[in-house]
Amino acid sequence: MKIRAQSEVKMRDKAYVPPYTLTDKTVNLVSAITEIITQINISDSMNNNPRLRRDNRIRTIHASLAIENNSLSLDQVTDIINGKRILGAPDEICEVKNAYEAYKQLLEMNPYSVKDMLLAHKILMNELTKEAGTFRSGGVGIFAGEQLVHMAPPANQVPNLIKELVDWAKKAEVHPLVKSCVFHYEFEFIHPFADGNGRMGRMWQTLLLYKWKSLFGWLPIETLIKERQDEYYKVLGECDHSADSGRFIEFLLQAIYDALCEIVDTEQVGEQVTEQVEKLLEIIGDKEYSTKELMESLELKHRPTFRDNYLLPALELGYIEMTIPDKPRSSKQRYRKVRSNKFK
């Protein structure tokens, strides 16, 4: 990972304030994100849809691990989290299990507690590194091929540097969106662990944002970072050389805004199909039906229309379920209401 090019960070005598510049683009993004969050909070889609939260969490884990070169597909990650066995490298499977457990506990942690940070790292890197749950004991050089692009601060400075960063984040009167981005950048610069720094930095930003607005606990920002991975590293390098994390703030805020826009788009699609889903649920009632029976009851002859506008939305929203979920294409497949859900 490319990080700010600096060979050493000297111990500071006064409270540290990370260097960053707020541009017009940053201010506009903060305003746009705040506005779109208000729309999402009104609809409360995350709280009303545990399946959406779970799916987003799985996407987040897959993307975060993929950034660190984990080769497992989204389907394989989903299977692991659902307790199924897959063919894959043991370390990669372990990474998935650890990440899922870490995210399960993450939202109960204190983002300003170094103790909680070490605990999160221990869970995340269990059986993957000998120094899980502890700050690194040696120096870390970050290379691009054979070229050294960053020498992280000496190991004996790490505890103090992390404490300074956490203290700044706790006390600074900075907008939470900006604060989380600055924290993420500075964390990567310090590179406090022997391994898992990228995962931890992204996860801790999620925690900081969650304490501001709860929807960030399930927002799959990392899927967009994965799609823009080259730019992610490029921006880190640019900030490194300029000793200012302003560009990194812009990059992450854009990813956050785009992720939120995806949620709004999904909600709008959901509103368009609500009438069809409601019709489907009225027909199903307390019985089980085959695809053919449902289409006949709805007076539909075009299977794709039934699938895309009625069946799949109802399944994705968690209102109906398959009677044979392990064999979705079974000729004996039928559908029924999920008893614990009530259509709203």
Asked if residue 67 lies in contact with residue 224, where contact means CB atoms within 8 angstroms, the answer is no
198 labelled as ligand-binding?
yes
Compute the CA torsion angle 242, 248, 21, 205 (nearest 10 deg): -130
As a whole number of angstroms, the distance between CA 242 and CA 282 comes to 61
199 labelled as ligand-binding?
yes
Burial class (CB in 10 A: 0-12, 13-18, 19+), 54: middle
The residue ranges of DSSP E strands in 108-188, in sequence order, are 141-144, 147-151
Alpha helices, DSSP H, located in 172-302: 176-190, 197-212, 221-227, 229-242, 246-284, 291-298
Q: Which residue has the tokens 């930095």?
A: 201
Asked if residue 112 lies in contact with residue 169, where contact means CB atoms within 8 angstroms, the answer is yes
196 labelled as ligand-binding?
yes
- The question of whether 175 is a catalytic residue gets the answer no
In order of 5, 126, 195, the CA distances from 130 in angstroms are 27, 8, 10
270 labelled as ligand-binding?
no
339 labelled as ligand-binding?
no
**One of 184, 191, 241, 302 is an active-site residue; which one?**
191
Asked if residue 106 lies in contact with residue 155, where contact means CB atoms within 8 angstroms, the answer is no
233 labelled as ligand-binding?
yes
- What helix, strand, coil percent values describe the chain, rounded to 5? 60, 5, 35
Residue 98, phi then psi, degrees to nearest 5: -65, -45
136 labelled as ligand-binding?
no
As a whole number of angstroms, the distance between CA 145 and CA 40 comes to 43
Q: Which residues of 242-277 are buried (b: 16+ CB within 10 A; e: fewer)?
A: eebbbbbbbbbbbbbbebbeebeeeeeebeebeebb
Annotated binding site for ATP: 195-202, 232-233
Annotated binding site: 195-202, 232-233
List active site positions.
191
